Each structure stands twice: as C-alpha cells, then as structure tokens.
Amino acid sequence: MKKLYCATLNIHEAKIVEVESTFIRALPGFSIVGLANTSIQESRDRVKSALSSLKYKFPPQKITINLSPSDIKKEGSHFDLGFALSVALQKEEVQFDDIFVFGELGLNGKVKDTSLIFPLILSLAKQQKIKKVLIPKESFEKVSKIPNLLIFTCDNLEEAINFFKQEDKKFEKATDLKFDFIKIKNDKYYYDKKFLLDFYDIKGQERAKRASLIASAGLHNILFEGSPGCGKSMCAKRMRYILPPMSLDEILENARLSSINSKEFEFKAIRNFRSPHHTSSRPSIFGGGSSKAMMGEVALANNGILFFDEFPYFQKSILESLREPLEDHKVCISRVNSKIEYTTKFLFIAAQNPCPCGNLLSSTKECRCSEVEIQRYKNKLSEPLLDRIDLYIQMDEITSEDKPTISSKEMFETVQKAFIKQKERGQEELNGKMSEKEIEKFCVLDDEGKLILQNGISKFALSQRGINKILRVARTIADIQGCEMISKAHLLEAMSYRRR
C-alpha cells in the first residue's frame, strides 16, 4: 500500500487527506472511496488518459484509492496528481514522506492549477501542518508568497514521477512581496503608494476629513450624515487608500478569502473595500447557505472596510445583526450540517441623509418631510447600534468658497506615523479594536484628562462602551499628535465626535 498527502476544504479550513492506494487480485477496475464528490470520481478517466500518454500499462488488477478520513466530504480536481502518482509509483521503491501533492491533470498529462490549491496550502501553513509541497508550475507565483514553505513544481505528470524517483530532491523557497514596506521590531508591514482616489478632490469638509484621518489611523467605526451630494461617499471611498500598512499574514488572508469567494485574486498591499447595496439579503451580508455556511460581506471585509451607504434603508434584521460583528469582531453562522465562526475586524463606515428627502440640514432647500416621517426615519437605527459607532460627523453644506486642502498622500503619512507608535507600544490590535485590558494598559490619562473624563461621563450619561470608545479615539488622536499620554485636548476632541 502506498500513501501520500493532499487536503480538502472543510467550509473555510483545510483538512489533511491521506490518499491510500492498493492493487489487489480481482477483476480489473479503478475505484475511489471515502466520500468523494463528482469532480473526484471523474478524475479516474483523467488519470487513465494521463498515464496512457506516458505508455503506462495498467496491471490486470483492481485499483482502490481511499481518501482518509472517510467521514469528511472531499471535493476538488486537485486530487488528480496524487491519484496518478499513487498508481504510477505503486510498485516503485519510493518514499512520499511528508510531501503534499496538488494538481489537476489534463488528458495529455499536463498538470494544471485550480482555484483551491492556494487557499488549501495557505490554511495548512497557518496550522503549521505543511512544509513541503509539489504543485503545478502555474501555481508557483501564488504559493511562493507563503513563508516557510519548500516548493517543487512540475509542468507534467512525467516530471512529477521523476521527482519522486530522485534521491536528492531540490525545492524552491518562498519569495518576498514586491511592495514598499516599513519594518517595526523585525516585522514588515506593506503598503501601496498609489492613491487612485484622492482626498484632494474634496473641497471643504475639514471636520469630515479630520474624522476620516482619525478613523483610518485607528480603524474606528464612523457615521457620516449630511445632505445628498455633500461628499459622504467620496470620503468613504478615499479612506481605503490611507488605511495603515498590512502585515504579510493580512495580505495572505485577504488573498485566501478572495480566492474562496470569487476564484480570482491578486496579492495587493491595499485593504479590502466591501460596499453591499441596501437591498442586499441578510445571508449575503452575514453568510449562510442550506448545506454549508458560505462567507458574507462582513467576513470578506475583514482587515478592511465595510461601507453601508443609505444606512437606514437596510433591513431591520441586518442592522440589528451588525451588533455582534461590530462589538465582538466575529460572526457565527450555524446550520444543521455546519457551524463556522468568521473574524470581522473591519472599519465600519456608514452614510445617511438627515431625513428621507435629505434637505433637513440645508439652508437653501426646503425639507418636505413631516416630523413623523423624520422620526420614523431616525428610529430605524436603534440606540444599541449607534452606540457602537465611534465617530459621528455631520457634514457641512457646500459653498462656492470651499477649496481642497489636504491630499491622501499627506493623510497616509500621518496615519503611518500613528501606526508605528501603536506597534512600537506592543499593541497586537489597532486602537479601534483594543480589548478592555489593552485600554487599561495603553490609554493612560494625565491628571487633567482624568477630570475631563469624569465630567464627560456625568454630563453625557456615557455607558461603559461609550467610555471605551472615547478612550480609544482619544488614544488615536494622541498618536497622531505624537503624544505618549492622553491629555485634555485629546479627550475633548474625542467627545466632540460622540453622537448627541
């Protein structure tokens, strides 16, 4: 019996699969057992054709391939190469050792890439269960970005067979990402200097720009409110390009999520931006599915931005379900056949009009809404949900005197300085995602700041969540200004962004 290793995707995590093969005396046949789906069962014909192209003669025996463990459903054509090697090398004195094998076979023996190879190998690498891998040449560019991995590539089945026959096996090592980076405590954080959308395009709106800078530097949730056309969406879409640099793990995780979701992806040092329409269904936002729990927008926005335009027009069930991912930074999806938990550490941005017609704050246009309509519009957003928003910004009305003042490049440089201060302090999370213990450790107030906070608690009737939000925002403001301790000015500015 021969045994080699492959893997299958169990919801969103890779599970190791042992590919066992035997030749037994019986009527000639080729069977695959172990809960294999249709794409795996079809591989029998691809394997036969690929081996025939090498003049391989099938023995007059029954070939049985077992995928272990047998209680996990397997899917994917990436098992082809493992099957072919099991058959071709059955009687050879070769050792498969701890090498994982992935690849789809063409009928002529060519080894092809599949959409599952990269997420499978990345997931195994994160679990520290893989060190050596044999993959198609087409997969090398993607897989080579995964650190601490020894890689051998093959263009066809013959090369794969010869690889295992060699005594001295030569592997290639992972390559580095070709992005600009900063180095903090031996860790690299990558960024992109391209600003496809620039804050310099926005005229006026100084308070909104300042709030956007603070929200970006600490990944604080923010709500823009203002008349139609005042620049709410413009600010939200430009914030993506000034967010803090990304670690290698974050870049790889974004690529993995993209490959599972859309099957196409690229490595990029820019954070995800997800903007679902307000008519989107609840499963599309949070994930779901009858047979297995698929990812939704909140999971795909992890380490990036989730933008809700026309905030009050989303379904009530969606708005209230946002509480868990915004507060606990995770979402759990339970189904009969599966239960999965996704991380949701994203910057949440919301935009809304002040009333249904949008003219409530306008000095030139008349609001057509009755008080009942305005109240009904505002009641769509519950207090517990709004309490999870760090920064509330009421946009200014546009005037002819408004001028551009600051570029995205300047804002990013400020965000980068604040990011460096947070990492040098030893923070695992950015300010907006700090836990209560981290707040107590890193949000240190001076004497005057403590007095201001006490007055603010009694004046604004702040909840414990509200106090933590103010401390997190104040910490980011202090970082932007290069201060070690949080002072009176930082707290007063943080409190000014609270929703009244």
Residue 468: CATH number of its domain: 1.10.8.60
| For residue 483, pLDDT beyond 90 | yes
| pTM attached to this predicted model | 0.90
The Cα 252–Cα 140 span in angstroms is: 14
Helices 206-218 + 232-239 axis angle, to 10: 30
The domain in which residue 7 lies consists of 2-173
pLDDT for residue 324: 92
Q: Do 301 and 327 fall into the same domain?
A: yes
* Residue 291: band (very low, low, confident or very high) from pLDDT cuts 50, 70, 90: low
DSSP β-bridge partners for residue 30: 63
- CA count, 13 A, side-chain hemisphere, 111: 29
Query: CB 87: neighbour CB atoms within 10 A?
Result: 22
In a domain, 428, yes or no: no
DSSP β-bridge partners for residue 2: 21
Q: Is 80 helix (H, G, I), strand (E, B) or coil?
A: helix
Contact 479, 217 (CB under 8 A): yes
Tens digits of residue pLDDT in 37-51: 999 999 999 999 999
pLDDT for residue 337: 67
Burial of 192 (0-12, 13-18, 19+ CB in 10 A): middle
Contacts of 198 (CB under 8 A, 6+ apart): 238, 241, 407, 408, 409
Contact 73, 11 (CB under 8 A): no
Q: Do 92 and 115 fall into the same domain?
A: yes
Q: Do 14 and 138 fall into the same domain?
A: yes
Does a cis peptide bond (omega within 30 degrees of 0) precede residue 283?
A: no
Closest CA to 276 of 231, 313, 234: 313
> Above pLDDT 70, what percent of the chain?
97
The Cα 218–Cα 434 span in angstroms is: 10
Distances (CA, A) of 378 to 301, 311, 371, 381, 387: 26, 10, 11, 6, 14
Q: Do 235 and 384 fall into the same domain?
A: yes
Distances (CA, A) of 158 to 12, 48, 81: 32, 14, 11
Q: 8: domain CATH number?
A: 3.30.230.10
Q: Do 335 and 257 fall into the same domain?
A: yes
Distances (CA, A) of 451 to 438, 441, 454, 488: 21, 19, 5, 9
The Cα 357–Cα 367 span in angstroms is: 7
Tens digits of residue pLDDT in 106-164: 999 999 999 899 999 999 998 989 999 999 999 998 899 898 899 999 999 999 999 99
The Cα 6–Cα 14 span in angstroms is: 10
**Phi and psi at residue 141, to the nearest 5°:** -55, -40
In a domain, 353, yes or no: yes
DSSP β-bridge partners for residue 8: 15
| For residue 339, pLDDT beyond 80 | no
Distances (CA, A) of 472 to 25, 224, 431, 500: 71, 19, 6, 18
In a domain, 182, yes or no: no
Give how far the C-alpha of residue 240 lies from the chain's centroid of Cα atoms, to the nearest Å. Answer: 14
Q: Structural domain tally of the chain?
A: 3
The mean of the pLDDT values for the chain is: 92
In the DSSP assignment, the letter for residue 244 is: P
Q: Do 324 and 448 fall into the same domain?
A: no
pLDDT for residue 294: 75
Last residue of a domain, one of 120, 141, 173: 173
pLDDT for residue 274: 94
In a domain, 423, yes or no: no
∠ CA 111-115-119 to the nearest 5 degrees? 110
**Phi and psi at residue 222, to the nearest 5°:** -140, 145
The Cα 225–Cα 150 span in angstroms is: 52
Characterize the bridge pairing of strands 13-24 and 62-68: antiparallel
The position carrying tokens 């698929």 is 294
pLDDT for residue 482: 94
Q: Do 453 and 475 fall into the same domain?
A: yes
Q: Do 230 and 335 fall into the same domain?
A: yes
Burial of 371 (0-12, 13-18, 19+ CB in 10 A): exposed
The Cα 307–Cα 234 span in angstroms is: 12
Contact 212, 235 (CB under 8 A): yes
In a domain, 298, yes or no: yes
Tokens of 262: 């859309």
In a domain, 101, yes or no: yes
Helices 464-480 + 447-460 axis angle, to 10: 140
In a domain, 496, yes or no: yes
Identity at 275, one-letter amino acid code: S
| For residue 239, pLDDT beyond 80 | yes
Contacts of 264 (CB under 8 A, 6+ apart): 115, 258
In a domain, 351, yes or no: yes
Tens digits of residue pLDDT in 298-318: 999 999 999 999 999 999 999
The Cα 192–Cα 416 span in angstroms is: 12
Q: 398: domain CATH number?
A: 3.40.50.300
Q: Do 97 and 221 fall into the same domain?
A: no
3-state helix, strand, coil in the chain (%, to 5): 40, 20, 40
| For residue 172, pLDDT beyond 90 | no
